[in-house]
Each structure stands twice: as C-alpha cells, then as structure tokens.
Amino acid sequence: MKVWEILRKPRVVVSGDTPATVVRAEMRYNEEPMAVVVESPKSEKVIGFITWREIIQITSHYSNLRAKDIMVDEPIVSIDDSVDVVFEKMKEARVYGVSVVDENGMLRGVVTLADIVRGLQQAGIEPIAETIAEVMTVEDIEKYVTYPTEEVTKVWSDFVYHGVPGKVVLRSNEEPIPVGIITPREMLMTSRWFFHRESERGLKSVAKVKTIMLRGTPAATPETPIEYAAKIMAENDLTILPVVDDKGKLVGILTIYDVVRAYLEGAKPGRVKPVRKVALPVPVKPEERVTYTTTRQVLEQVAVARPAIIELMGLNVKDIMRRELPAIMINDTVEHARKLMIKTRSNYLIVVDEKGEIIGVITKWSMLRAIAAKGPIWKRRIHDRYFIEYVMDKNIPKIPANASVEEAAYTLVEAHAEIGVVVDENNNIIGFVTKDDIVKAYAQQYAIKTKVENLMMPGRVGIVHPHHSLHHAIKKMQVFYLDALTVYDGSKVIGVISANRLPFVAFEDAVEGIKSRRLIWVRKLVRGGPRKGRYVKVTPLLVVDATVPLPENVRVNPSDSVAKAIELMEQYNVDGVPVIDNEGVVRGIICKNDVIRDLARIVEERRKRGLPVTIIQSRQT
C-alpha cells in the first residue's frame, strides 16, 4: 500500500513566519494533531511541520517564537513511498504525523499514525498479530506511567525531549489501577498547565497531572483483539491505551506504534497469542429473532385481547400540550445537550437555528444513535461542531391543536416518535406534545379500569436475556415500538432496559449490530461521591451492561391495573416494569409505549367504523 492511498488534506497550513501561538490556536480549534509549514502563504512548498510534540514547547499564553522556530523538517515523505517505509521513518523520529510531498517538494497531504490504521482497516487488511498481548509494551513500562499528584513538568519533559507518546495515570504506586491518561493532545487543548501563568498574587504553582488528564479512559486486556482496540484508538486519536489484568491492574501499555506494528510487522519477538477470554453474547433463539413488523401488526399485538373501545377520552392535544421545552442551538455539542437534559430533567430538547426557528428535536433515542455512531468519549467529540445536526430528528410529526389525544398517540406510533409539534389552523407551532404527556392523560382517564394484560405485548417479545447483545435488545425495542424490556436470565428478573436511561450508556451501533463483534466500552455515571476517573474493560457490550436494576417488589401482575404500573414507572424513573403472574412466571413488560399503542388502537377502530377522531371543542379554553 502506498502513502497516496491513505493521505488526507491538512486542516492547518501556515507559513514559517506565522506566530507559534497562532499555530497552536489553529491546531486547537481544528482538533488537528499537526500543522504543515510552507514557504509563504501563496506557496505550497513544504519546509517543515509541527506536531503535538513541538507545539507544546510553547509553555505560556505569549511567545515571540514563529512556526519556523519550532518546526521539524524530517522525516520527508514522498507521495510514492510505501506505508511500511513511512511507518519506519515515523517510528525512528518518534513523530505522530508527517507531511507528504511530491517530487518537487510541493504539499500533497498529511498522514498520521491514526490515518495509517484507518487506511489499513478500510482496505480490509487484517493485523498479522491478532491480540494485544502480542505487541503491547511491557519493557520500561515506568516511563509510560504517572500519577495524579505528579507535577505536569515531568510529563511535559518526557513528551518533548524523549518522544513518549502518552502516559497512563495510575491511582497510586500501591494500587496500579488506571484512572486516566495524559497525552500531548491534552496539553494542546488546554492552557491550565502552562508554566508561566500569572495571577494577582504572582506566579501560580505548577499544575498537577490530575488537572488536565483525560478521565474515564477505556482499557483493554491482553487477549483483546487488536483490530477492535485499533479502531477505538484511531477514531479518537488516542496515542496509548492501558492494558489491565482481571483485577484491573496495569500489566502493559498499548501505544499507537504497537498498533501499526501489529498490522505491518506482526508480533514482537517471543510473544505468543493468549487464549481469548472475552465473553460473547448469547445466541438469539429463532423464536426470539426480530423481523419486520408493520404499524398495524404493532397495534394488534396484545397478551389478552378485550372488546374494542371506540369512545374518546374527550381531551384534545391543546388540553395536554406543553407551551415550551428546553432548547439548544444547532451549533451546540452533544455533550451540552446531555448536560441540559440532566439539568432540566427533560427527555426532550428542541433545536433552533441562528434565527431562533425550530428546525428539529433531540430525544433520548436521538442520543442513542449519536453515541452508537460517534463513540462514547464525550470530551473527545466536542470538536465536532455540527454533531447536533447529525443527531437531531428533522421530521417532527405535526399534530393539529384540535386533534384528539388518541389521534396524537396514533401519529407518534406511526412515526415511531416520542414527540410532536402542535400547530394551529394556520400551521403555526403553538406547543409540543410528548409521550409522557399522553401517558399522564391516560393515567387520569383509563388506567384504573384497564388491566396490564390488555396492553402488554404477548409471548416473550418484552423479555431479553442479560447476555443477549445490546444490539438485539435495541432492535427489538425499535421494531415493536417498546421503550423498555424485562431482563430475565431464566431464573430471576435482573432489571429492565429502559429507553430513558440508555443515553448515558455507550453501546454498539444498532444498525451494524455485532456482525463484526466490535468491542467498545461503557462510561458509567455515578451520582454523588468524589470526582474520580473510572474505566471499564473493552468487551462485547451486552444487555447486562445497560440494565437498570429494580427492587424485587417492583413488578406487576397481568391482572393489575395499568395505573399501578404507571405509578411504579414514575417512582423508579423507568419507562417500563416487569410483568410476573401469580405462579411466578415472567410474562414480559408493561411500558409507556404500550399506553400509546392502546390509544392508537382506538383511532384505528374508529376509522374502521367511519367515526371521527378529532375533537371539535376543547374542554379548556
């Protein structure tokens, strides 16, 4: 493979006279690990390049240095060089990236170690060394380790003068458990570590590692397949990854150089492939597989059918709608959206453009898709400024203000949505109606006289095994319009999968599934307590990783009223509760979307009989 097959366009190109502080600002803004230095603004003649290692030599807010003062001019990479030759040059010079030139020395692109990994994977090239144990660094491991209270000057010195790609932050010497990592990237992205920082009281003391380290970093085990760790590191520009044993203690370091070596050269001398101990998902039985289901089939499926209801509850959408919802701007980040959801205790956010016009909505399901596609290192993704546009739902169902609540429910089921905008007779937006608003109205009108068995899905539709893949669970929820599932291991109920709690657990892409057996990690949120870095091993993500545990008494009987189920959902902040009969047999789940489906069935029945579904006169004014 030639370098021209994997090179990319540089995001930062500067002239030699550009102030180094400007170069730093450009690299920081563009989240670019390197800058190309050319002769002049009008020339493409390359005279050098600057990487993380060089740019962090500027240790204060102000500097008289220029790009030409800190750049390096080697190694020189030609557009026709092979990838293995380029890697050897980068490894010898201990650089993360290089500029690529043609025979005349003119700029043609840049290549980083992450670009090499991505290029090899996109070309379908499998690593020669299959596991991390075959290539991880175990010699002189001390130089790759630091501690939270160590002064950042020591780490900086190792980065700049010794070419160390990054360091794993351990809890303590007595407890060699990773709590984070620190790389030149972290030093580029913040000024909190600068040596020459002044305040009103004089010079500030030197910062500690804990001030700028990346917390909650993923970790791998020796038997983890190299291709999965490589994907994580390349996607997030991670230069190192801690390797831990079964007790979570550090046993090695996987550097980005080790990853490229695994693809191009294979195992290090004397290394053998360990036996894999990574747990794989339990195979899904034929009767549990998810197949395509129409909206009509979704509405028809109930555990115990009852006589069709055709009477409307007498409320229209205007009676229950919300006048306003928390809003975010189109150029806000997903991290901001997540924090706003937590702060406002809202499952829904509207998205507005620069003119203040509503252009979309973000729900918890939108967040799920975002995490699946972009990866769970929230702090690593804030540079993706248009991430909100990717996440949001642009096609929000429009519901007339005089539509019945039942008609609104039908619209949500048909669109597989959780929120709709309410419009007046002139198509102007006057409010919003959500799944939760409809469930609340149902609880006041129907819930007491309706049994759980008349709403819940039949058979094992609402049940998953804790060791099923999370992809299978998410797919089942999407196809059957469920927002919760009972997690049952065959002997006891473990808890539930709840849509309103899933956005804070990273999971594999519900579209790609586990076909590639992709390994990712979970960022667990712990309420309260001290601020600590937490990691979880890189393993296949299963249902149990996202399960919300519930007390044993949080369950309902098929003959219980739906009102009891809704009360438990509200009390424990979940979208569904397990259903267990008098003999102790687990029957499934009753969830909020079951309520929406029940109301939608009324619309379906009225339309069959030629009856109107819209309320002309509202109860309220």
586 found inside a domain? yes
Domain span including residue 333:
314-445
pLDDT recorded at residue 286:
54
For 134-157, write each residue's pLDDT tens digit.
999 998 899 999 999 999 999 999
Q: Domain boundary residue among 122, 144, 168?
A: 122
Domain match, 475 and 525 both? yes
436 found inside a domain? yes
Domain match, 74 and 111 both? yes
- For residue 407, which of 418, 415, 416, 399 has the smallest C-alpha distance? 399
For 45-76, write each residue's pLDDT tens digit.
999 999 999 999 998 888 899 999 999 998 98
pLDDT recorded at residue 26:
94
Domain match, 252 and 149 both? yes
Domain match, 457 and 589 both? yes
CA distances from residue 282 to 1, 118, 495, 541 in whole angstroms, order as listed? 38, 30, 18, 11
pLDDT recorded at residue 298:
63
pLDDT recorded at residue 48:
94
H helix runs in 526-609, sequence order: 562-572, 592-608
Q: CA 610, CA 600: separation in Å to the nearest integer? A: 15
Contact 493, 555 (CB under 8 A): yes
Written as six digits, the tokens of 191 are: 């000024």
Q: Which helix (H) or strand (E) holds 162?
A: helix 152-162
277 found inside a domain? no
The torsion angles phi and psi of 189, rounded to 5 degrees, stand at -80, -5
pLDDT recorded at residue 167:
94
Tell me the three state secondary structure of residue 181.
strand
Report the alpha-carbon angle 587-592-597, nearest 5. Answer: 90
Q: CA 129, CA 74: separation in Å to the nearest integer? A: 29
User: In total, how many domains does the chain have?
Assistant: 4
Q: Domain boundary residue among 122, 153, 179?
A: 122
472 found inside a domain? yes
pLDDT recorded at residue 280:
45
pLDDT recorded at residue 175:
87
Contact 509, 199 (CB under 8 A): no
Q: Which amino acid is at 250?
A: L
Burial class (CB in 10 A: 0-12, 13-18, 19+), 561: middle
Residues of the chain whose pLDDT is less than 50?
Answer: 198-203, 276-281, 290-292, 371-386, 504-540, 616-621
280 found inside a domain? no
Domain match, 476 and 560 both? yes
608 CB-near residues (< 8 Å, 6+ apart): none
- For residue 123, which of 29, 227, 37 has the smallest C-alpha distance? 227
DSSP 451-517: BGGGTSPSTTTTEE-TTSBHHHHHHHHHHTT-SEEEEE-SSSEEEEEETTTGGGS----TTTTTTT-
Q: Which residues make beta-bridge pairs with 404?
A: 316
217 found inside a domain? yes
Q: Would you tell me how many other CB atoms lie within 10 Å of the CB of residue 346?
A: 16
3-class secondary structure per residue, 64-87: CCEHHHHCECCCCEECCCEHHHHH
Q: Domain boundary residue among 90, 122, 154?
A: 122
Domain match, 320 and 439 both? yes
Q: CA 537, CA 178: separation in Å to the nearest integer? A: 11
For 316-325, write each residue's pLDDT tens digit.
899 999 988 8
Written as six digits, the tokens of 433 are: 């109606």
Q: Output the pTM of the full model.
A: 0.52
For 176-190, write each residue's pLDDT tens digit.
988 888 999 989 988
Domain match, 340 and 378 both? yes
Dihedral sign (CA 462, 464, 466, 469)? negative
Domain match, 57 and 115 both? yes
Q: Would you tell me how many other CB atoms lie within 10 Å of the CB of residue 397?
A: 17
For 413-466, write each residue's pLDDT tens digit.
888 788 999 999 998 889 999 999 999 998 887 767 889 998 998 877 899 988
Contact 401, 424 (CB under 8 A): yes
Report the alpha-carbon angle 533-536-542, nearest 5. Answer: 145
Domain match, 426 and 471 both? no
Written as six digits, the tokens of 184 are: 């030149």
pLDDT recorded at residue 511:
31
- For residue 572, which of 545, 552, 558 has the smallest C-alpha distance? 552
Contact 590, 452 (CB under 8 A): yes
Q: CA 502, CA 390: separation in Å to the nearest integer? A: 19
Q: Which helix (H) or strand (E) holds 241?
A: strand 240-244
Domain match, 138 and 252 both? yes
The torsion angles phi and psi of 298, rounded to 5 degrees, stand at -60, -40
Domain match, 404 and 479 both? no
Q: CA 296, CA 383: separation in Å to the nearest integer? A: 43
Q: Where are the beta strands (DSSP E) in 376-443?
A: 398-400, 419-423, 429-434
Contact 216, 534 (CB under 8 A): yes
Q: CA 157, CA 160: separation in Å to the nearest integer? A: 5
98 found inside a domain? yes
Domain match, 196 and 98 both? no
Burial class (CB in 10 A: 0-12, 13-18, 19+), 534: middle
71 found inside a domain? yes
CATH number of domain containing 61: 3.10.580.10
